[in-house]
A and B are shown apart, each in its own frame.
Chain A
Amino acid sequence: MNTNVETFKYDNRIVRAFAIATIVWGVVGMAVGLLAAVQLFLPEANLNLQFITFGRIRPLHTNAVIFAFVGNGMFTGIYYSLQRLCKARMFSDFLSWFNFWGWQLIIVSAALTLPLGFTTSKEYAELEWPIDIAITVVWVAFAVNLFGTIVKRREQHMYVAIWFYIATVVTIAVLHIVNSMEMPWSGLKSYSMYAGVQDALVQWWYGHNAVAFFLTTPYLGLMYYFLPKAANRPVFSYRLSVIHFWALIFLYIWAGPHHLLYTALPDWAQSLGMLFSLMLIAPSWGGTLNGLLTLRGAWDKVRQDPMLKFMVAAVTAYGMATLEGPALSIKSVNSLSHYTDWTVAHAHTGALGWNGFLTFSMLYWLFPVLYRTKLWSVKLANYHFWISLLGVIFYVIPIYIAGVTEGLMWKQFTKDGFLQYPNFLETIVQVVPMFRLRAIGGTLYILGVLLMVYNLYRTAKSGKFEPDTVAQAAPRANHAAVAGKTTFHRLLEGKPLFFTVLAVVAILIGGIVEVIPMYLIKENVPTIASVKPYTPLEVMGRDIYIREGCLGCHSQMIRPFRSETERYGEYSKAGEFVYDHPFLWGSERKGPDLAREGGRYPDAWHFNHMDDPRSTSPGSIMPRYSWLLTQPLDTNSLPARLKALRKVGVPYPAGYENGPAQKDLVAQATRVVQNLKQGAVTAESDREIIALIAYLQRLGTDIKPAPAAAAAPSSFE
């Protein structure tokens, strides 16, 4: 036996810092979500301020709850449990605090840039390029800290939670770097290096795996640590937890294409995504049952302990979401559910139920431990549980109903073969009452969280914080016993080599960033001759479309179903998007698809519609965009934009941005102003609305027969 026991201290300060950040950003992120939810039935709730209009705060909400709330929650749990599972203090206190302050700085910059309209438009990756670089740096610091702690651990066995943390740190790094390749054209703006279908593929490979490795694996690690701790009994089957981990890791990364079913993605890739999604049910439910069965014989504890109640609800939500996810990735189900609110409901079962409740559970357990006291009020925590559970139910059930209603109404034909609801607005008006109920659910959920904030504050007040926990453990058994087998591992433990490895990884990343865009640009050949790059005015308009977050409610991807081609026109072809940096297919329809919007309405209609959507479409829930009518178009940055687009492969002629482009822009703007005059609208040609109208009128017209041609057949008779 080893008798030289070492004494060391666990760092509790960093855990407390992350815990407080979790609570603060949680409240902020959920409040922003509520504001967005209210705007879906009361568009005036934006107070006519562009900075808090739905399109801009939707990404703020998703980023805040995913990266600020769940992100800080993940760090809280990892920094607490990793030290104890490794029987070692974190590798470096400096890196811990660098991780903390760096992450908060990233969140604050997100909270500033997103309302100002600086967004890449790629979902859950909206942050612009300087922030993307900051995320990479902070994440590497976290990775070094995590691996450093694992290397210097005193416990030979790596508990299954540690493996889940490793999966998170490695995979998120790869996903973030591959998806964030962009070409800057200003200090805060850039264009995606990928175009169209390729951009869509990379984005949803990222999007799917971000859910898998940011919202799922770290929290499964936390579940395997905090659930046994709270129940004070070992996990039902440790062997099952190990199988759960390895099966999940090897299956998850291949399921991404299920976000792009029935799009221009090759069929085999769609089928592969669906197959792996279905296989995922096995490990996910293995984990769910493992969590719930841990409580066998301890259900009396669940009745008393709010922490366990939250944990049970969280694990149940995980089970439901991971059964529903594969179901939604079955192609025939997806044909109904895609673009509807069903996706939103699915996401919130996971976010409110799994991530939210597991975080609350962890916080209720951590605060008394960190402050060496009892929870101030168990009763209040129980109230929190029931109020927030009711909130989840009031949120998801109406939104499920709304989603299915939308899907069915969009597809409904009359006996005579016409669309039953040809006006898209009818289908949205139908589900607005559900949007109202959803806001009530969200309010209840936040109310519960506020009870928790007060409860935890009083708990902290009533105890005394312990900055360091003293612990004792023997150092890890000498590797001499298993020498030979582990020489490589021992080499890794030498710090110089450890950092050499990191340096090599960094250089590799640099190399990939250099090589891949070149390779892709060469491969990105236009397949449809009539598809041309956007004109300068359309480029400006497209950037406004991105800035305002239009794709939060409008898709640009017509799937090959009769219900869609009847409603929107010819289905979308991969070749139509070769100049789209980034792609703007969207994932939700709160308004109609815009892929063939060009030429559908006169310019003046768009002008009036953007000024006040209800003047042209009574009952519309679209916000007013009256500021577009007054804000001048930023033509000074046009050369920078065109140059950046040329670098990523759009074939603008050399020197086009120095003179000819400006002339083209003015000429096209003048044409739009003349068209507006015909519709009895007077407008100045240097306003943002002009560019947006030009872009909207271009959409889908490259392969769409001109109205004159459509009327032509009569002349052939």
Chain B
Amino acid sequence: MSVILILILASLGVAVAFLVGFIWAVRNGQYEDTCTPAMRMLADEPAEKSPPPISKTKPSNP
């Protein structure tokens, strides 16, 4: 069952990498504002038109 050791080490490696990522994110101030990012992502395309409205007409109007 020695392979468990390898899997645990690999899993721990991934987990530690993400822990570092988490600590970085917090110290970097990524989560100081948990309100506006959700809104800003909606309007992040100033030079782009907003998605077109859904067509209400039938495709092939007789």
Contact = CB atoms under 8 A, between A and B. Distances in A.
Interface of A: 7, 84-85, 87, 155, 157-160, 163, 166-167, 170-171, 174, 178, 194, 197-198, 201-202, 205, 225, 228-230, 232-235, 238-239, 241-242, 246, 249-250, 253-254, 256, 266, 269, 304-305, 365, 368-369, 372-380, 458, 469-473, 482, 485-486, 489, 516, 519-520, 523
Nearest to A364: B54
Nearest to B17: A170
Nearest to A488: B24
20 contacts: A84-B44, A84-B45, A85-B41, A157-B33, A160-B37, A174-B14, A201-B1, A201-B3, A202-B6, A232-B42, A239-B34, A246-B22, A249-B15, A250-B19, A254-B11, A372-B49, A373-B52, A469-B47, A471-B45, A519-B2
Contacts of A235: 38
Given A7-B47, A228-B38, A266-B4, 6 more contacts: A84-B41, A157-B40, A160-B37, A201-B3, A254-B11, A470-B47
A375 B55 CA distance: 7
Contacts, number: 137
B6 A238 contact: no
A242 B56 CA distance: 37
A374 B52 contact: yes
A469 B30 CA distance: 27
B30 A520 contact: no
Contacts of A519: 2
B58 A379 contact: yes
B62 interface: no
Given A167-B18, A250-B18, A519-B2, A228 B46 contact: no
B51 A368 contact: yes
Give the size range of B's interface with the partner: 35 or more
Contact of A379 (B51, B53, B59): B59
Contacts of A166: 21
Contacts of A254: 11
A374 B55 CA distance: 6
Contacts of B37: 157, 159-160, 238
A470 B45 CA distance: 9
Contact of A201 (B4, B21, B50): B4
Contacts of B21: 163, 166
A269 to B, nearest CB: 7
B45 A378 contact: no
Nearest to B8: A254
A291 B28 CA distance: 27
Contact of B10 (A178, A369, A482): A178
A458 B59 contact: yes
A242 B4 CA distance: 31
Given A178-B10, A374-B55, A486 B34 contact: no
A157 B1 contact: no
Contacts of B25: 158, 163
A198 B3 contact: yes
Contact of A378 (B13, B18, B38, B54): B54
A633 to B, nearest CB: 33
A269 B4 contact: yes
Contacts of A232: 42, 50-51
B57 to A, nearest CB: 9
A640 to B, nearest CB: 26
Contacts of B3: 194, 198, 201-202, 520
B41 A516 contact: no
Given A269-B4, A379-B59, A458-B59, A369 B51 contact: yes
Given A205-B7, A238-B34, A170 B42 contact: no
A135 to B, nearest CB: 18
A170 B47 contact: no
Contacts of A84: 41, 44-45
Nearest to B55: A374
A362 B10 CA distance: 34
Contacts of B34: 238-239, 242
For the complex of A and B, 5 pairs with smallest distance between CB atoms? A234-B38, A198-B3, A238-B38, A523-B2, A377-B59
A178 B6 contact: yes
B55 A378 contact: yes
A240 to B, nearest CB: 9
A373 B54 CA distance: 10
Nearest to A307: B54
